[in-house]
Amino acid sequence: MSSQIINKSGEGKALTQVFYNSSKAAVSLLAKGLAVEWAQHGIRVNVVSPGYVNTDQMKHMDKSIRDYQAKGVPLGRFAEPSEMAGQALLLLSDHASYMTGGEYFVDGGNLAW
């Protein structure tokens, strides 16, 4: 029997978001701990950490702020929700059968620098 669990996490940059950021760190570390404990049962646990994604939440942001933030992403834009699916599908597939305890950033290169 084999199972997979994928958590969603994100990395924030604003220092004023200490509670948000610490909760994201908690998700990452929880996944690592569960990956170690549950591996013996054939359960893999990983985290997908998206960057900025064009969602309804982003529509409420001022356009000038959105444009400014998008310029800071190496790929020069926010992700579309459908672009998050690829990483999740990989982690759920047999191609990821030896991947557990990892955090995978889907952020257009935003954390690369």
Residue with tokens 């990395």: 11
Determine which helix (DSSP H) or strand (DSSP E) holds 49, and give its type and residue range. strand 43-50
Q: Give the C-alpha separation, 70 to 58, whole Å.
A: 11
Work out the widest C-alpha separation in the chain, in whole angstroms.
Answer: 50
Catalytic member of 20, 52, 68, 98: 20
Please confirm, yes or no, whether 68 is among the known catalytic residues.
no
Query: d(Cα 110, Cα 61) in Å, to the nearest integer?
Result: 19
**Catalytic residue IDs:** 20
